[in-house]
Amino acid sequence: MSHYAVFGHPVSHSLSPRIHAAFGRQTGIELNYTAVDAAPEAFMQALDAFAAGGGRGANVTLPLKEAAFALCSATSERAQRAGAVNTLTRNDGQWHGDNTDGIGLVRDLTGRLRLDLRGRRALLLGAGGSARGVAPALLDAGVSELIIANRTPERADALADALGEPERAHSRYWEDLVNEGDFALIVNATSASRSGATEFSLPFQLSTPRTLAVDLNYGEAAIAFLAWARTAGCRDMVDGLGMLVEQAAAAFEIWHGVRPDTAPVYAALRGKDASLVTAD
């Protein structure tokens, strides 16, 4: 039996084991997929132990995505553009890294929800591993401008520079967002709600009724941002559950060479109580 896992901290409530088990049943592929809690300082040792035990692939969630990138002997173009890895594959005794976060988000929005991202002026909140994963894909999907804001401005500056598109990708100080006008797309890639924050503070003038508000978190972790979006008058609001399923499907295809059907898996998860589950 093939061994796979998701690494994160915390990770005990991740839905990834359930998602990959469902994909395995659907495609007739027998696999064992577990969750491994690894603090950043213990990640390398935990990954080595997993590989020694026969681990063939792994997903990586917060806060380990940038550390995973540094541990890879080879990385895909998507991972290189992001500077972060969420999918690891064991090849010839070494880890090869990819990033399926961005393609997962875009597939959920343009596929399942049939939304058009082209020409949208976009605001990306956050500059950590999750933001790095989705930023290149948003540019590839055709957003007209991508403004990146982070509580630590140096990280926003670094991400904007790494994207290599100075005409479209720019960083801004969080406190200066009040002067930025409105956006057709606002993506929350921060971890504020994971830290127990119950309110999300942003200027309401950033949105209009036509603004699409997307949180990369889901369940309880998405409540604060989506509540802000609702109060700000956004008509369309999306949490990160669909992205989670889509990025998992992309990882599954990398490992097994077959793409599973995401629709029934998403529908089954949406019917369950995910209020205590953290996003990947």
Catalytic positions = 65
61 in a known ligand binding site = yes
151 in a known ligand binding site = yes
Rounded Cα gap, residues 217 and 234, in angstroms:
18
Rounded Cα gap, residues 76 and 84, in angstroms:
10
179 in a known ligand binding site = no
- List strand residue ranges (DSSP E) for 21-176, in order: 31-37, 55-60, 74-75, 87-91, 94-98, 121-125, 145-150, 169-173
What is the secondary structure of 162-209 as a DSSP string? Answer: HHT-TTTEEEEEGGGGGGS---SEEEE---GGGGT-------GGG--T
12 in a known ligand binding site = no
Mention every residue, 6+ apart, whose C-beta is less than 8 A from residue 48.
Answer: none
DSSP-derived 3-state class of residue 236? strand
Peptide bond connecting 63 to the previous residue in cis, omega within 30 degrees of 0: yes
87 in a known ligand binding site = no
218 in a known ligand binding site = yes
92 in a known ligand binding site = no
CB 275 within 8 A of CB 218: no
163 in a known ligand binding site = no
Of 33, 32, 84, residue with least CA distance to 60: 84
247 in a known ligand binding site = yes
Rounded Cα gap, residues 135 and 78, in angstroms:
10
123 in a known ligand binding site = no
231 in a known ligand binding site = no
185 in a known ligand binding site = no
Give binding residues for shikimate as ranges.
14-16, 61, 86, 101, 218, 247
| Binding site per annotation, positions for NADP(+) | 77, 126-130, 150-155, 216, 240
Please enumerate, by residue number, every residue annotated as part of a binding site. Answer: 14-16, 61, 77, 86, 101, 126-130, 150-155, 216, 218, 240, 247
